Amino acid sequence: MLVYLLERGEIDGAIVAGMDPNNPCRSVGMLATTADDIKAAAMSKYCLTPSLEVLAEIRKREGRFAVAALPCQVQGLRKMQRVDPVLSEKIVCILGLFCNCNLERNGHLEALRACGVEPADVREFRFRGGPWPGGFHVVGKNGEQVALHRMRYSDLMNVMFRLYGATRCYLCLDALSEYADISCGDFLAGDYDDSFSELTGCTLVVERTARGRGILEQAAKDRALVTHHLPLDRMSKRITGMAKGKKNRCIVRLWRRHRKKQPLPDYHFSLPTPSSKAMRSELLYRVFILFRGYRMRTIILRLLFSPLGEWLARLNVKRKKMFCNYHGN
């Protein structure tokens, strides 16, 4: 999408998250001004990345720009646009990503070390390398390629989010970039048992604004995109469940902080009393705080990347298929 906008002359560049060429395990924000730059920054980066620092560079340049951002960053951008007319005029498209949580910057580094790989020996690191959906993938300085994960990537990240989730992520209501022009994330084709099951590797795209709708319609007309309409009532139960769960657990935390008179984000609505189901769900999350010490994290990571961890993950997949009814999409 960003390459399409650039080649059409709709934008002069885009703020994206890439990997630092001088430190291949470190993600950085960058202003991509060529198609190659944009393509090089493709794929998810599951660690805190201050990509909006690049806004300072945009202020100095003439032109129009797009931003690829997480929900929390989109919220900040929208607030900035309301008070900064120069920035508002220059940013013509906000592409928001789905986000359940993000990792502190040491999370993937400790995972590498738990697998016996020193970050200093890495020439290239990808959070989602290899065939879709991908996984932690390393190319060593000796040229050796190593795929580290032994389980479904989503199951691995669910544990990582609990061990290394950033504190601010736990106070975020938005999983689906609701304030972006266009929001997107993985299309979970495996949750369907009809023709949608054939769309493995595709992206689920949601139009959020009139501007976003116009971009998508023009891209489809120009055959830059191949689109398949997904009725609202066929939305993936895993995605909607993730979004609702994140929002409900966040409300519990906001409600608790409000009662204790602790600082909290102002989402401009009255906090409802959390449901008992939300309270239980948030409690299970809090239990993982007991395991966030360095020694316990290391033990859990070694288990995750071991054959036993792989077996436990397969068992968990069977449990989900039996009790979660994802194939009811």
Tell whether 77 is covered by a domain: yes
What pLDDT is attached to residue 327?
Answer: 59
The answer to whether 5 touches 66, Cβ cutoff 8 Å, is yes
Tokens standing for 306? 């071991």
Q: Are 94 and 182 part of one and the same domain? A: yes
Sheet strand arrangement including 145-147: 122-129, 135-140, 145-147
Q: What is the DSSP letter of 192?
A: -
- 155 and 215 housed in the same domain: no
* Residue 218 one-letter amino acid: Q
Q: Is residue 170 part of a domain?
A: no
Do 192 and 272 lie in a common domain? no
User: Does one domain contain both 113 and 88?
Assistant: no
Report how far apart the first and last C-alpha atoms of the chain are (Å, whole number). 27
Into how many domains does the chain fold?
3
Q: Are residues 126 and 249 in the same domain?
A: no
Q: Match 């928001």 to its residue by tokens.
A: 96
- Single out the residue of 16, 165, 19 nearest to residue 99, CA to CA: 165
Residues 212-230: tens digit of each pLDDT: 999 999 999 999 999 999 9
Instruction: Tell me the C-alpha distance between 117 and 148, whole Å.
Output: 10
19 and 73 part of one domain: yes
Q: Quick one: 159 and 220 in the same domain?
A: no
Residue 171 lies in a domain: no
One pLDDT digit (tens) per residue for the chain, 329 residues: 999 999 999 999 999 999 999 999 999 999 999 999 999 999 999 999 999 999 999 999 999 999 999 999 999 999 999 999 999 999 999 999 999 999 999 999 999 998 889 999 999 999 998 888 888 899 999 998 887 866 778 888 989 999 999 999 999 999 999 999 999 999 999 889 899 999 999 999 999 999 999 999 999 999 999 999 999 899 999 899 999 999 999 999 999 999 999 999 988 888 899 999 999 999 998 888 888 899 999 999 999 888 888 888 888 878 877 777 665 66
Q: Are strands 65-69 and 135-140 parallel, antiparallel or unpaired?
A: unpaired
- The answer to whether residues 157 and 216 belong to one domain is no
Q: State pTM to two decimals.
A: 0.92
Amino acid 4: pLDDT: 98
* Phi, psi angle pair for 28, to nearest 5°: -140, 155
Residue 253 lies in a domain: yes
Question: Do 118 and 6 fall within a single domain?
Answer: no
Structural domain that includes position 125: 103-165+293-329
Helix/strand/coil for 224: coil
pLDDT at 153: 83
Q: Which helix (H) or strand (E) holds 63?
A: none
Say if residue 258 is in the same domain as residue 283.
Answer: yes
The predicted pLDDT at position 328 comes to: 62
| CB burial of residue 271 (10 Å; 0-12, 13-18, 19+) | middle
- Whether 182 and 76 share a structural domain: yes
Cross-strand bridge partners of residue 206: 183
The stretches of the chain forming alpha helices (DSSP H) are 2-7, 35-40, 55-60, 71-83, 85-90, 107-114, 153-164, 210-221, 237-259, 276-287, 294-304, 307-323
Residue in the block written with tokens 């020439």:
123
